[in-house]
Amino acid sequence: MLAKHTSEFDSVAVVIPCFRVRRQIVRVIESIPSWIKLIIIVDDCCPEESGNYVQESCDDSRIIVLKNRTNQGVGGSVLNGYRVALEHHIKIVVKIDGDGQMDASMINKLIKPILEKKADYAKGNRFYNFDHIIGMPLHRVIGNAGLSFFSKLSTGYWSVFDPNNGFTAISGEMLSSLPLAKIDQRYFFESDMLFRLNLARAVVADVPMAAIYGDESSSLSAIKAIFEFTLKHSRNFLKRIFYNYFLREFSLATINLVFGLGLIFFGLVLGSTNWFHSIRTGVTSNTGTLILISMSVLSGLQMLLSFVSYDMNHEPKNPVGTLN
């Protein structure tokens, strides 16, 4: 079945960004299935010269080695690999890391939703099965859970979890439609991809997978990531709401959002004003004012909940390739 699907899609490529992965990269390359057409290695100005090491150690004819002159981050490296894949008219592009944390034998499972035209983009989800979580460090479990919530808000993919999972696959058709130059080039790359995919109305599929932890190390500061990711998620959330509910369409959800926020703001301002007035004068607000404050806030919350419900049900359902 897989061979049939692969021949129908012509080609599948794997992009591997490399930075300080000299110890693992050859094992990763050797684990990639033989039916993969291209293996694009992107040396991100690696101090260990991973690109040269691959050229010296591997004689696999499928390998293309790119070398970034300056360090561009994991996102920048993957995007460079994506561009080369598009130049070779690849139909599906898979991205895996070079540190050995991803099981390359699962590539066939990862690309299945795209092959079956059920999704435009597929990604791993390490949280789907409880057994997969047991071996995961606690700080990663907590951190990913928090980031997943913010990602749902900013990307609009409410059914997607583990947003920073780097084991992904994308159809060439969808990839060619994305503004690659606008996508974040650093550690926010995966989350920013989801944001851009939502604007393109792409269908995203979660694929259960287990994480592999070995002797790899991360250069990402947890404290820095919290502040940086929070700011960028907030920015993307505001952009997404503006694009989807004001620029592209004006629906009942838009009215619920505007009036919901307006009523809550009115209720809070009126409530705060009366509270300070009562403290200063000792005169309690009358019943009518208290009812007005309560009704404003409660009505506003109800309208916001209606908006969130609409947004959750508005997640893309039809893959782009099936609309033609």
C-beta of residue 93 within 8 angstroms of C-beta of residue 111 = no
pLDDT of residue 209: 87
**pLDDT (mean) for 248-265:** 95
Closest CA to 82 of 74, 91, 93: 93
Q: 3 pLDDT band (50/70/90 cuts)?
A: very low
b/e for 62-85, b at 16 or more Cβ within 10 A?
ebebbbbeeebbbbbbbbbbbebb
Q: What is the pLDDT of residue 282?
A: 82
Q: pTM for the whole thing?
A: 0.87
Which residues are CB-contacts of 11 (< 8 A; sequence separation ≥ 6)? 37, 38, 88, 89, 90, 91, 92
Give rounded-to-5 percent helix, strand, coil for the chain. Answer: 55, 10, 35
Is 165 within 8 Å of 180 (Cβ atoms)? no
Encode pLDDT of 35-80 as tens digits. Answer: 999 999 999 999 999 999 999 999 999 999 999 999 999 999 999 9
Cβ atoms of 152 and 234 closer than 8 Å: no
Listed ranges 145-154, 291-300, 314-323; the one with the highest mean pLDDT: 291-300
> Of residues 132 and 69, which shows the higher confidence score?
69
User: Are the C-beta atoms of 14 and 36 separated by less than 8 Å?
Assistant: yes
Phi and psi angles of residue 181, each rounded to the nearest 5 degrees, phi first: -70, -20
Does residue 99 surpass a pLDDT of 80? yes
Phi, psi torsion values for 3, nearest 5 degrees: -60, -40
Chain segment 184-241, per-residue pLDDT in tens: 998 899 999 999 999 999 999 999 987 666 555 555 555 667 788 889 999 999 999 9
Percent of the chain clearing pLDDT 70 (strictly above):
86
Contacts of 318 (CB under 8 A, 6+ apart): 201, 203
Identify the DSSP state of 286: P
